[in-house]
Amino acid sequence: MEFITKADSERLHARLQELRALDKVLITRIAEARAQGDLRENADYHASREDKSHNDARIRDIEEKLRTCQILGSNDLPKDIVFIGAVIKVRDEASGREEVLKLVTGYSDDADESVAREVTATSPMGQALMKTRIGDTVRVALPKGDRRLTVIEICS
Protein backbone atom coordinates (compact mmCIF):
# COMPACT_ATOMS: atom_id res chain seq x y z
CA MET A 1 0.00 0.00 0.00
CA GLU A 2 1.23 3.44 -0.88
CA PHE A 3 0.83 6.44 1.40
CA ILE A 4 0.00 9.87 0.00
CA THR A 5 -0.80 13.19 1.59
CA LYS A 6 -4.18 14.88 1.35
CA ALA A 7 -2.66 17.53 -0.96
CA ASP A 8 -1.31 14.76 -3.24
CA SER A 9 -4.77 13.16 -3.30
CA GLU A 10 -6.34 16.46 -4.31
CA ARG A 11 -3.75 16.87 -7.09
CA LEU A 12 -4.48 13.37 -8.37
CA HIS A 13 -8.26 14.01 -8.33
CA ALA A 14 -7.76 17.27 -10.24
CA ARG A 15 -5.53 15.53 -12.80
CA LEU A 16 -8.16 12.80 -13.18
CA GLN A 17 -10.82 15.40 -13.94
CA GLU A 18 -8.54 17.00 -16.56
CA LEU A 19 -7.93 13.63 -18.21
CA ARG A 20 -11.64 12.80 -18.26
CA ALA A 21 -12.37 16.16 -19.91
CA LEU A 22 -9.63 15.44 -22.46
CA ASP A 23 -11.23 12.05 -23.10
CA LYS A 24 -14.42 13.76 -24.32
CA VAL A 25 -12.37 15.96 -26.66
CA LEU A 26 -10.55 12.92 -28.03
CA ILE A 27 -13.81 11.08 -28.67
CA THR A 28 -15.01 14.08 -30.68
CA ARG A 29 -11.72 14.18 -32.64
CA ILE A 30 -12.04 10.48 -33.47
CA ALA A 31 -15.62 10.95 -34.69
CA GLU A 32 -14.63 13.93 -36.85
CA ALA A 33 -11.69 12.04 -38.34
CA ARG A 34 -13.86 8.99 -38.99
CA ALA A 35 -16.30 11.19 -40.91
CA GLN A 36 -13.51 12.16 -43.33
CA GLY A 37 -13.77 8.80 -45.07
CA ASP A 38 -11.27 6.02 -45.70
CA LEU A 39 -9.76 5.05 -42.34
CA ARG A 40 -6.80 3.11 -43.75
CA GLU A 41 -5.02 6.30 -44.83
CA ASN A 42 -6.51 8.72 -42.30
CA ALA A 43 -3.62 9.95 -40.14
CA ASP A 44 -5.89 12.13 -37.96
CA TYR A 45 -8.02 9.13 -37.09
CA HIS A 46 -5.07 6.92 -36.16
CA ALA A 47 -3.33 9.68 -34.16
CA SER A 48 -6.55 10.47 -32.28
CA ARG A 49 -7.09 6.80 -31.43
CA GLU A 50 -3.52 6.53 -30.18
CA ASP A 51 -3.93 9.70 -28.07
CA LYS A 52 -7.14 8.28 -26.58
CA SER A 53 -5.41 5.00 -25.79
CA HIS A 54 -2.64 6.83 -23.90
CA ASN A 55 -5.18 9.01 -22.09
CA ASP A 56 -7.23 5.96 -21.07
CA ALA A 57 -4.09 4.32 -19.66
CA ARG A 58 -3.29 7.43 -17.58
CA ILE A 59 -6.87 7.50 -16.28
CA ARG A 60 -6.69 3.83 -15.26
CA ASP A 61 -3.31 4.41 -13.57
CA ILE A 62 -4.57 7.33 -11.46
CA GLU A 63 -7.82 5.52 -10.59
CA GLU A 64 -5.81 2.50 -9.43
CA LYS A 65 -3.50 4.68 -7.31
CA LEU A 66 -6.42 6.43 -5.69
CA ARG A 67 -8.18 3.11 -5.07
CA THR A 68 -5.19 1.43 -3.43
CA CYS A 69 -3.45 4.26 -1.55
CA GLN A 70 -3.91 5.42 2.01
CA ILE A 71 -4.36 9.14 2.50
CA LEU A 72 -2.48 10.51 5.49
CA GLY A 73 -3.86 13.39 7.50
CA SER A 74 -1.53 15.62 9.51
CA ASN A 75 -2.59 13.79 12.70
CA ASP A 76 -1.59 10.44 11.18
CA LEU A 77 2.05 11.42 10.72
CA PRO A 78 4.34 10.31 13.54
CA LYS A 79 6.51 13.07 15.03
CA ASP A 80 9.41 10.92 16.27
CA ILE A 81 9.73 8.66 13.22
CA VAL A 82 10.84 9.57 9.70
CA PHE A 83 7.75 9.37 7.55
CA ILE A 84 6.29 11.09 4.47
CA GLY A 85 6.50 14.85 4.86
CA ALA A 86 9.32 14.74 7.40
CA VAL A 87 12.23 17.13 7.01
CA ILE A 88 15.32 15.47 8.42
CA LYS A 89 19.01 16.15 8.83
CA VAL A 90 21.30 13.24 8.01
CA ARG A 91 25.05 12.76 8.19
CA ASP A 92 26.96 10.77 5.59
CA GLU A 93 29.18 8.50 7.67
CA ALA A 94 31.93 8.31 5.04
CA SER A 95 32.35 12.04 4.46
CA GLY A 96 30.86 13.48 7.66
CA ARG A 97 28.83 15.87 5.50
CA GLU A 98 25.36 16.80 6.76
CA GLU A 99 22.36 17.24 4.49
CA VAL A 100 18.72 18.25 4.97
CA LEU A 101 16.22 16.00 3.21
CA LYS A 102 12.44 15.98 2.89
CA LEU A 103 10.66 12.66 2.35
CA VAL A 104 7.90 13.14 -0.24
CA THR A 105 5.53 11.08 -2.34
CA GLY A 106 6.00 10.81 -6.06
CA TYR A 107 3.01 13.11 -6.56
CA SER A 108 4.34 16.10 -4.66
CA ASP A 109 4.82 19.28 -6.68
CA ASP A 110 5.55 21.85 -4.00
CA ALA A 111 9.31 21.54 -4.26
CA ASP A 112 11.39 24.04 -2.32
CA GLU A 113 14.97 22.92 -2.89
CA SER A 114 16.27 25.88 -0.84
CA VAL A 115 14.95 24.28 2.35
CA ALA A 116 15.66 20.61 1.72
CA ARG A 117 16.47 18.20 -1.06
CA GLU A 118 13.40 16.12 -1.78
CA VAL A 119 13.67 12.34 -1.68
CA THR A 120 10.73 10.22 -2.80
CA ALA A 121 9.58 7.57 -0.38
CA THR A 122 9.83 4.90 -3.09
CA SER A 123 13.46 5.66 -3.98
CA PRO A 124 16.24 3.53 -2.46
CA MET A 125 17.18 6.36 -0.09
CA GLY A 126 13.54 7.02 0.83
CA GLN A 127 12.87 3.35 1.51
CA ALA A 128 15.96 3.09 3.71
CA LEU A 129 15.09 6.21 5.72
CA MET A 130 11.37 5.48 6.10
CA LYS A 131 10.40 4.67 9.72
CA THR A 132 13.85 5.40 11.17
CA ARG A 133 14.43 7.40 14.35
CA ILE A 134 17.06 9.88 15.49
CA GLY A 135 20.37 8.06 15.86
CA ASP A 136 19.50 5.26 13.42
CA THR A 137 22.07 4.53 10.72
CA VAL A 138 20.94 3.04 7.42
CA ARG A 139 22.76 1.65 4.43
CA VAL A 140 21.52 2.95 1.09
CA ALA A 141 22.39 1.01 -2.05
CA LEU A 142 22.87 3.60 -4.80
CA PRO A 143 24.16 3.21 -8.38
CA LYS A 144 27.44 4.94 -7.44
CA GLY A 145 27.90 2.73 -4.39
CA ASP A 146 26.55 2.26 -0.91
CA ARG A 147 26.13 5.19 1.49
CA ARG A 148 25.66 5.00 5.22
CA LEU A 149 23.44 7.77 6.58
CA THR A 150 22.69 8.57 10.21
CA VAL A 151 19.53 10.45 11.09
CA ILE A 152 20.68 13.27 13.42
CA GLU A 153 17.54 15.38 13.58
CA ILE A 154 13.86 15.32 12.60
CA CYS A 155 13.11 18.99 11.90
CA SER A 156 9.39 18.58 11.17
Higher-confidence position of 136 and 42: 136
| pLDDT of the residue at 39 | 78
Stated pTM of the model: 0.62
Q: What distance lies between CA 78 and its chain's CA centroid?
A: 20
Calpha distance 11→4 (Å, rounded): 11
Query: pLDDT, tens digit, for every residue of 95-122?
Result: 999 999 988 887 655 555 556 788 988 8
The pLDDT of residue 43: 85
Report the pLDDT averaged over residues 136-156: 90
pLDDT at res. 112: 53
Amino acid at 83: F
Q: Which residues contact 58 (CB under 8 A, 6 or more apart)?
A: 19
Look at residue 73 and tell me whether its pLDDT is greater than 70. no
> Please, which pLDDT band fits residue 28 given cuts at 50, 70 and 90?
very high
CA dihedral 118, 106, 1, 18 (to 10 degrees): 150
Alpha-carbon distance of 60 to 9, in angstroms, equals 15
Type and span of the H or E element at 64? helix 43-68
Q: Which of 90, 85, 114 is nearest to 102 (CA)?
A: 85
Domains of the chain, CATH where assigned: 3-72 (1.10.287.180), 87-154 (3.10.50.30)
Position 34 scores a pLDDT of: 87
d(CA 118, CA 101): 6
121 contact partners, CB below 8 Å, separation of at least 6: 3, 84, 103, 104, 105, 106, 127, 130
Residue 83 has pLDDT above 90, yes or no: no
Banded pLDDT at 89 (limits 50, 70, 90): very high
